């Protein structure tokens, strides 16, 4: 399904394809999440790596691309992490290198200590990335020269956007979503949902705009004017109106 312009959503996955730069784009893998939860006393089955690789295979069955761009938070633990996280990072990087001609990792706020496994495999780990009129940045901070960017499209993550939908008796369902529209300076913006099936989404139609995670969304965007495209593993893409029209309460 077309998201806007040339950008396509690869249903039913939280990933997009940009034809002009032949790139699959996604964010928030949060590898090592289960191990981090164990450290906090919460034991989860180790399913995330397998699930994410299966999702990647499903994406590749629908859309082949020369490049993949992971827009931040490839890993979960802020610190170095343990053996399990290190192993999962390596296995996923190897999988991506086998599947794409080019792998680009944009550094997210969780991606401390990612440089070593990336460098060992010759994978680019960058603070920001511009290609073909698209400017990729994770979105957890605002670069000094952010307002001077020439790329027409800004692509961020970090927020893990989801919308809370309530039925007539008040039962809530949370649906991960893409957000897109224009920034106050006229540039287009795309906010990617989390790729990790374990990442909690931010209910962006419930959270007040000034309490969102990303300073880019808080300070450069009228978020209620952004359009919403939900993405569900069961229902596929779900096109809504603007975020403001879904705001609750």
Enclosing domain of residue 78? 2-246
Global confidence as pTM: 0.92
Number of domains in the chain: 1
What is the CATH number for 150? 3.60.21
Contact 178, 28 (CB under 8 A): no
Q: What is the pLDDT along the chain (249 residues), one digit of tens a residue?
A: 999 999 999 999 999 999 999 999 999 998 875 565 445 555 555 677 899 999 999 999 999 999 999 998 998 664 555 667 788 999 999 999 999 999 999 999 877 778 888 988 999 899 999 999 999 999 999 998 887 778 999 999 999 999 999 876 677 889 999 999 999 999 999 999 999 988 878 999 999 999 999 999 999 999 999 999 999 998 899 999 999 999 976
Can you give the pLDDT at residue 38?
A: 46
Can you give the pLDDT at residue 79?
A: 54
Annotate the chain with three-state secondary structure.
CEEECCEEECCCCCCEEEHHHCEEEECCCCECHHHHHHHCCCCCCCCHHHHHHHHHHHHHHHCCCCEEEECCCCECCCCCCCHHHHHHHHHHHHHHHHHCCEEEEECCCCCCCCHHHHHHCCCEEECCEEECCEEECCCCCCCCCHHHCCCCEEEECCCCEEEEEECCCCCEEEEEEEEEEECCCCCEEEECCCCCCCCCCEECCCCCHHHCCCHHHHHHCCHHHCEEEEEECCCEEEEEEECHHHCCC
């Amino acid at each position: 399904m077309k998201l806007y312009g040339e950008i396509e959503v690869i249903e039913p996955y939280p990933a997009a394809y940009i034809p002009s730069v032949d790139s699959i784009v996604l964010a928030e893998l949060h590898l090592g999440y289960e191990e981090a939860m164990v450290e906090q006393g919460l034991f989860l089955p180790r399913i995330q790596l397998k699930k994410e690789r299966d999702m990647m295979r499903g994406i590749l069955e629908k859309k082949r691309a020369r490049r993949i761009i992971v827009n931040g938070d490839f890993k979960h633990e802020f610190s170095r992490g343990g053996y399990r996280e290190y192993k999962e990072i390596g296995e996923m990087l190897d999988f991506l290198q086998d599947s794409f001609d080019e792998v680009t990792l944009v550094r997210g706020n969780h991606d401390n200590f990612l440089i070593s496994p990336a460098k060992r495999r010759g994978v680019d780990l960058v603070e920001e990335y511009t290609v073909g009129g698209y400017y990729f940045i994770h979105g957890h901070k605002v670069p000094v020269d952010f307002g001077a960017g020439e790329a027409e499209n800004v692509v961020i993550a970090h927020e893990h956007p989801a919308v809370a939908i309530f039925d007539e008796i008040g039962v809530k369902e949370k649906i991960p979503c893409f957000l897109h529209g224009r920034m106050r300076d006229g540039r287009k913006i795309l906010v990617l949902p989390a790729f990790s099936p374990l990442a909690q989404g931010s209910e962006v139609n419930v959270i007040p705009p000034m309490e969102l995670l990303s300073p880019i969304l808080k300070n450069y965007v009228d978020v209620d004017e952004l359009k919403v495209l939900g993405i569900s593993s069961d229902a596929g893409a779900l096109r809504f109106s603007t975020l403001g029209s879904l705001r609750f309460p």
